[in-house]
Structure 1
Amino acid sequence: MNSSGIAETAVQALAARERQRFLEQHPQSVALAGRARHALFGGVPMHWMSDWSTPVPLFVERAEGARFVDVDGREYVDFCLGDTGSMFGHSPAPIAAALREQAGRGLTTMLPGEDAVVCGERLAERFGLPFWQVTTTATDANRFVLRWARAITGRKVILVFDGCYHGTVDEAMVRTRDGHTVHRPGLIGQARNLTQHSRVVPFNDLAALEAALAPGDVAAVLCEPALTNIGMVLPAPGFMARLRELTRQVGTLLIVDETHTLSTGPGGCTRAWHLEPDFLTVGKAVAGGVPCAVYGCSAAMAQAMQIAREHASELSSGHGHSGMGTTLSANALAMHCLRANLEQVMTPAAYEHMLWLAARLAEGLRSLIARHALPWSVTELGARCEFQFCAQPPQNGAEAEAAFHDSLQMALHLYLINRGILITPFHNMTLCSPQTTAGDVDRLLASLDAALAELLALPGAREE
């Protein structure tokens, strides 16, 4: 018997049945998977696309709103939404219009237009930080902000929380084990020792945080307001406020990554919880699904950045490279879509609908977990919620990781896929978009209820 409350033999029986069902229902995906193996490494254009619960990749034909259709013509209600990239739905009408408008007016020029000015103004209004820069991905935004932080403070160490997610930034590819910072398991091709300049502490552990900051060598704390990728972990009451106090006391900068926690509201956790970061980064969904990310800073940081830039210019006799920026950063197409998303898609009305539906889903999940007498819990954050295989919501990354049950999660996900419902892979997280309906939420709950009923009806499912 595992900690999930369900025997592994039952999980494997359900999974085997559902794998066969998928293969029978998806002949075109099976055929494309066969072709893809001869042209794409691992049979997919990005390797993690083969890590879902399906026996072969599920190939998509089109997506719109809260739904997509696969190459076999089967329609799905999508609660994954590109793992946040399409948080506001697939191809929102204003974004589709912006793409059409900009298509004939130039895609990238390395020069700004009026859209750039408007986007800076809108971002400042929304998040409360006065100055902004635009990148292509949140990984880029985080990477560039870390360079600024080191240049401003003259320090090298970056502190992150165990189980954090900040894209593929090297400094975040670390974990804590027995109180020591170590490389993240599975990290490929890392040449340098990341533990020299990265430090990791458990989320919600103020004593560990204070000790890690005490030497006075930490340039910045890079954090999510709530962990979202290792399983959702919310901050304990007062934790984020104390984090801000401690960083100010020791001259460490605070960088808040809202890429996932943008689900909280129009200004993310930063505005909702009054976080007062020195820098803020947002990616994925900020331009409605078009590759784009942003980072903002306080007036004090903008002044310090200018001083750092002038100093670097003096050292290089006016020539050199900051190590920040890519040619496609802030391209005209992305800027036009970013403006449309900020003005027409990420509205208070959209969030009101999303948050109401997510609360309905979270309550429904709690009810069905209780009905099946399972030792599970539900964590919610704005439009995002997750059921986790532990009796109480986890308080840090280690607890969230300990609650993982990969085979059970994948069996349940595959069951849902076979019935036209998609949730986020690798854990049990859901998102509600402005186009998600109450009927969609009820359908997810009914399908998961049926999956648990069938699973628990298998012989020995609740063996002691």
Structure 2
Amino acid sequence: MADLDRIRLAALLARERAEFAASHPRSLELSRRARGALLHGVPMPWMAKWAGGAPVFLAEARGARVTDVDGHEYVDVALGDTGSMPGHSPQPTVDAIVARVAGRGGITTMMPTEDAIAVGEELGRRFGVPAWQFALSATDANRFALRMARQVQRRGKIMIFLHAYHGTVDETVATLDDQGKVIARDGNVGAPVDPALTTKVVPFNDLDAVRAALAPRDVAVVLAEPAMTNVGMVLPTDGFLKGLEEACADTGTLLIYDETHTMSMGPGGCVRAWGLAPDAVTLGKALGAGVPIGAYGLSAELRDRVLADDEGDYLDWGGVGGTLAGNALSVAAARATLEHVLTEEAYASMLFTGQRYVAGVRAVFAKHGAPWHVVGLGARAEFGYTPAPHATGGDAHAAIDPLLDDLIHAALLNRGVMLTPFHNMALMGPTTTVEDADRVVGALDAIVGEIFGS
């Protein structure tokens, strides 16, 4: 978007930030206070990325609405960057949490509960892999699944796709330099080893690169999102995932699909919707409607290999698990969320609302002559600043425009819409209405019209 008047865009951003500051005095006051107690002034670093010039401090959240400490209510299409995809505090999950804490008591006891069995059974039904265990985040689910894969494979390396994000797993914070060599991602904090020793990185949708990377048979496992969701939205081209699965089978390489975000596609994520055949699936965030949880499921074949492995210590010191993983509260929340909130009927509504949003965004871009695109993935959608969607993470990363991002995000906040702070993702939950989607589109219409002077 180099042809846009950047000086005018910067002036628009300054106007929106001034408006935000004038209307959010309490958030600004708390932000100043937080700098004396919290590193970067926030509980987690990415919370500093809110575009208004200070974080929006939360007062209340319910369904598809959040209210900040200054009393402003927002249509929330960030939904905790998928962590609250079921909506904020859905009543069945709240009831299960209260029953576990106040009724039956016992949040973490090192004892299994029947809820854990029910969640494993339901995830097996949805995703087609039968053997599940739990963690406290998708990062840990990925970490544990990778460790098991390297152990049973007796191979040291993993493969990921360029600009993929799988949490803070050390081996995945890697990229390629201009010569195609694997290096640490720019800004990687304290990389423990050279990522080239642990990781191969290839472009998404490039089957030739996949086959070349797997040919030496030194890769234990490929970790992939079925569609990339953390660098814009990059969908697989026709035949790519089938070719990836075939390349893994031909070289004896395991394949993990990380469905943490792509479970927006339906009750069984992309695995079920697209008929995929992974060796393992990892999940997180949305399962507990905000209560910390992650999960990883193994195919029957991989389960049997793990159970037959007499060298790995899977029960104690081997680097898999955690005292709070699989705690009674997390699995109670997950059971209620799966059984009563993220149902087949709920997904039907979410997907319909997602389609409405995508159509509305496309109409806004056409109305103002914006040469931009929007991509939908079930209940999830993201827009970007090029005429056509991207085929690789590298292309998507190159098209990021921080000034446009900040301007649009700040403008939406001032118009009562909360978009994901660090990318242009919108997510429709079970309680997101068609009217909510239209309101988001209307707010986007206003700022895109200003950007293009229409």
Residue type of the partner of 1:287? G
Distance 1:122 1:60 in 2: 33
Distance 1:245 1:177 in 2: 28
Q: Mean alpha-carbon deviation: is it higher for 50-59 or for 70-79?
A: 50-59
Distance 2:72 2:126 in 1: 39
Residue type of the partner of 1:59? F
Distance 1:426 1:219 in 2: 32
Alignment of 1:353-368 (within 5 A): 353-368=349-364
1:259 maps to which residue?
A: 260
2:54 maps to which residue?
A: 56
2:29 maps to which residue?
A: 31
TM-score, scaled relative to structure 1? 0.95
Distance 2:154 2:290 in 1: 36
Residue 210 of structure 1, CA deviation: 0.6
Contact 2:130 2:300 in 1 (8 A): yes
Q: Which residue, out of 434, 441, 448, partners 2:444?
A: 448
Contact 2:369 2:452 in 1 (8 A): no
Contact 2:151 2:312 in 1 (8 A): no
Other structure's SS at 2:452 match = helix
TM-score, scaled relative to structure 2? 0.97
Confirm or deny that 1:332 pairs with 2:328.
yes
Other structure's SS at 1:386 match = strand
Would the alpha carbon gap of residues 371 and 436 (structure 1) be closer, same or farther in structure 2, given more than 3 Å must change?
A: same
Other structure's SS at 1:449 match = helix
Distance 1:320 1:371 in 2: 60
Q: Which residue, out of 407, 410, 417, partners 2:406?
A: 410
Q: Which residue, out of 407, 413, 438, partners 2:434?
A: 438
Residue type of the partner of 1:83? D
Other structure's SS at 2:132 match = strand
Distance 2:300 2:192 in 1: 37
Other structure's SS at 1:192 match = coil
How many residue pairs match? The answer is 451
Distance 2:340 2:192 in 1: 45
Distance 1:44 1:441 in 2: 29
Contact 1:176 1:202 in 2 (8 A): no
Distance 2:278 2:25 in 1: 50
Other structure's SS at 1:312 match = coil
Distance 2:348 2:130 in 1: 26
2:154 maps to which residue?
A: 154
Confirm or deny that 1:15 pairs with 2:13.
yes
1:122 maps to which residue?
A: 122
Distance 2:371 2:8 in 1: 17
1:462 maps to which residue?
A: none
Alignment of 1:87-102 (within 5 A): 87-102=85-100
Q: Which residue, out of 41, 44, 62, partners 2:42?
A: 44
CA displacement, residues 130-161 of structure 1 (integer Å, 9 cap, x when unaligned) = 11111111100100011110111100010000
CA RMSD of aligned residues (A): 1.3
- Identical positions, percent: 48
Residue 383 of structure 1, CA deviation: 0.4
Distance 1:320 1:55 in 2: 46
Distance 1:312 1:452 in 2: 56
Distance 1:319 1:403 in 2: 45
Residue type of the partner of 1:303? D
CA displacement, residues 52-104 of structure 1 (integer Å, 9 cap, x when unaligned) = 21211110101000001000111000000000000110011111111110013
Other structure's SS at 2:109 match = coil
Residue 125 of structure 1, CA deviation: 1.1
Distance 1:445 1:124 in 2: 37
Distance 1:189 1:240 in 2: 33
Residue type of the partner of 2:12? L
Distance 2:253 2:17 in 1: 50
CA displacement, residues 93-129 of structure 1 (integer Å, 9 cap, x when unaligned) = 1111111100132100011011111111111111111
Residue type of the partner of 2:44? M
Contact 1:107 1:333 in 2 (8 A): yes
Residue 319 of structure 1, CA deviation: 9.6
The runs of 4+ residues in structure 1 deviating greater than 4 Å are none
Alignment of 1:39-438 (within 5 A): 39-104=37-102, 105-178=105-178, 179-308=180-309, 310-312=310-312, 321-438=317-434
Residue 272 of structure 1, CA deviation: 0.8
Q: Mean alpha-carbon deviation: is it higher for 374-383 or for 255-264?
A: 374-383
| Runs of 5+ consecutive residues of structure 1 not aligned to the other structure | 459-464
